Amino acid sequence: MKNIQRTLILGCSLVALAGCGADEIVSPGTGGDIIINNPAPTPTPTPTPTPTQTLVTAAAGCPTIATAGGLVDAGTISGPTGAYRVCQLPARFTSTDLLPYIRGLVYQIPGRVEVGADRGFSSTGTTVTLTIEPGVILFGQQDSYLVVNRGNAIQSNGTAERPIVWTSRDNILGLANDNSQQQWGGVVLLGRAPISDCSTGVFNNGTTTNATCEGRLEGAAVATPFGGANAADSSGSFRFNQIRFSGFELAPNNELQSLTTGGAGSGTVIENLLSFNSSDDGIEFFGGGFNARNFAIIGASDDSLDVDTGALVNLDTVIAVQRSGTGDRAIELDSPNVADRTPSNALPQTRFQVNNFTFVMRDGAPQVIQARGGAALGLTNGVINAGTNHCFQIDEAPTLAALIGVDSVVGDCPAVDPIRGGGGNTNADVATAINAGTNNNFAFAITLTSNVVNGAGETGRTAFNANTRSTFFPTRTYIGAIQNAAALTSIFGNWTCNSSIQAFGSTTGNCTSLPVYPA
């Protein structure tokens, strides 16, 4: 990468105003006169010269890591929040390493960066772990992305006060805006949990034993496999992370998301995740299975959540807000599990449940939620601000038969065909199945405030006990992701970033800027 130096000087000018002293008033009754005695005006001072100021000063150098070759000092980069030392990551982490937070330092992802090497379908244990400290900022450009290979792990755990920010070079330079996207790749977590769509190996159709089904990361020039037989596998921990302006196209029609998982097992922890302006899906899960909570998916240009190839995932407390001019579905759900797909009858079958969610859609999206391929869908305690879009489409009889249930979900769905079928399902069949749930209303008058906070209408709805569907889901008394204004701050307010698409009241600032922490 070329050394980039762009300095923005922030300054202020001082204007001093000279004021008058209090008027002296003599009562008319004492001598009949009113005397106003103002002091002479104070001379206007000479203006103070405008100071030259940056909020952050570049760190002196790069820290030492264990991986051979270490971090490469690539000079400095400057933007509205100051100057930063640029430390390039190695192409592959070969040793367990730590990226510490250092004020005035950012880590560059120069192209494809890997954590460890792929260790194979049947491997055990963890070879390389990359740990990232709270407050760290990492950036990429063009074809940059980070892959955690099978049998390795990441510990990217920020805090509510100091999230970890994955972003683009333009964001550091101050060139990104609330409609920017596709400025770098994204983060990929791969593991050894089962998947059901095989690039190599034998898929499990219920009779095949010792299945060796492996997938391949879409669009990667280097073969990047995932999948295995260990449902409890761990790809690490990913807490309090922002992923901004992602989705660079690796190959035609193959773009990365903010976060992509492939075969990540139940030992993987994902909590408090913001996806902002991904040019493809916000988040995509390929196979594997885990529980996750507190997702904010803002401004994705394709689907907010894309779940496929046997993923067994429960999500709790999810916000998805589309930009006005782009975005497809809030949920696209699929599984290679019907006769007209290849392979057919593949196991595991995708099973996806979402509890306490709020979806805010643009006009002109195809549907809010689409499920097909025999995937099993469960939705509880949700609010759908649908705009002009049909709320549900369920394709193919196996998908309808696999429906887990839709309960305590409301939406301002269109009067004509709010619920639709496809692939052999009639609209009436799908509507009957979805409306069999309890406490639903798809002709609901949305009263949300601050875009995602429950208003009087949502507050008046009866919640479903989602704990009966999964013990991961708490028992709550409200629908939607955000019960009230205080909850917006307490759940999402500190570790997210604000934009014209969705404001959280975040203390870390706007998505178009970088957070600046005290020294």
pLDDT tens, 152-205?
A: 999 999 999 999 999 999 999 999 999 999 999 999 999 999 999 998 888 888
Q: How much is the pLDDT for 147?
A: 97
DSSP class of residue 245? S
Q: How much is the pLDDT for 337?
A: 67
How much of the chain exceeds pLDDT 70, in percent? Answer: 88
35: pLDDT confidence band, cut at 50, 70 and 90?
very low
Largest CA distance in the chain: 114
- Report the pLDDT averaged over residues 53-74: 93
pLDDT in tens, 121-135: 999 999 999 999 999
Tokens of 224: 């990047």
CB contact at 8 A, 497 and 276: yes
pLDDT in tens, 356-406: 999 999 998 999 999 999 999 999 999 999 999 999 999 999 999 999 999
Q: Is the pLDDT of residue 258 over 60?
A: yes
For domain 72-493, give the CATH number: 2.160.20
d(CA 451, CA 208): 49
Q: How much is the pLDDT for 206?
A: 80
Q: Helix (H) and strand (E) counts for the chain?
A: 6, 30
Judged by average pLDDT, the poorest of 40-44, 314-318, 347-351, 440-444 is 40-44
The ranges assigned to domains in the chain are 72-493
Contacts of 330 (CB under 8 A, 6+ apart): 303, 304, 305, 320, 322, 359, 361, 368, 369, 384
Q: How much is the pLDDT for 54?
A: 54
Q: Is the pLDDT of residue 24 over 50?
A: no
- Report the pLDDT averaged over residues 241-258: 86
Instruction: Report the DSSP beta bridge partners of residue 314.
Output: 291, 353
Mean pLDDT, rounded, of the chain: 89
211: pLDDT confidence band, cut at 50, 70 and 90?
confident
- Return the higher-pLDDT residue of 49 and 160: 160
Judged by average pLDDT, the poorest of 103-117, 212-226, 472-486 is 212-226
* Among 199, 105, 190, CA closest to 145: 190
Q: How much is the pLDDT for 346?
A: 87
d(CA 278, CA 301): 6
* Among 273, 330, 338, CA closest to 303: 330
Q: Is the pLDDT of residue 341 over 70?
A: no
Q: How much is the pLDDT for 40?
A: 46
Q: Is the pLDDT of residue 22 over 90?
A: no
13: pLDDT confidence band, cut at 50, 70 and 90?
very low
d(CA 70, CA 88): 9
Q: How much is the pLDDT for 151?
A: 98
Buried b (16+ CB within 10 A) or exposed e, 114-124: bbbebbebeee
Q: Is the pLDDT of residue 323 over 60?
A: yes
Q: How much is the pLDDT for 209?
A: 67
Distances (CA, A) of 338 to 255, 334, 345, 397: 26, 10, 6, 9
pLDDT in tens, 67-121: 999 999 999 999 999 999 999 999 999 999 999 999 999 999 999 999 999 999 9
d(CA 360, CA 349): 28
> Residue 431: what are its φ and ψ, rounded to 5°?
-60, -40
Judged by average pLDDT, the poorest of 61-75, 240-254, 291-305 is 240-254
d(CA 303, CA 393): 14
* Among 5, 30, 268, CA closest to 154: 268
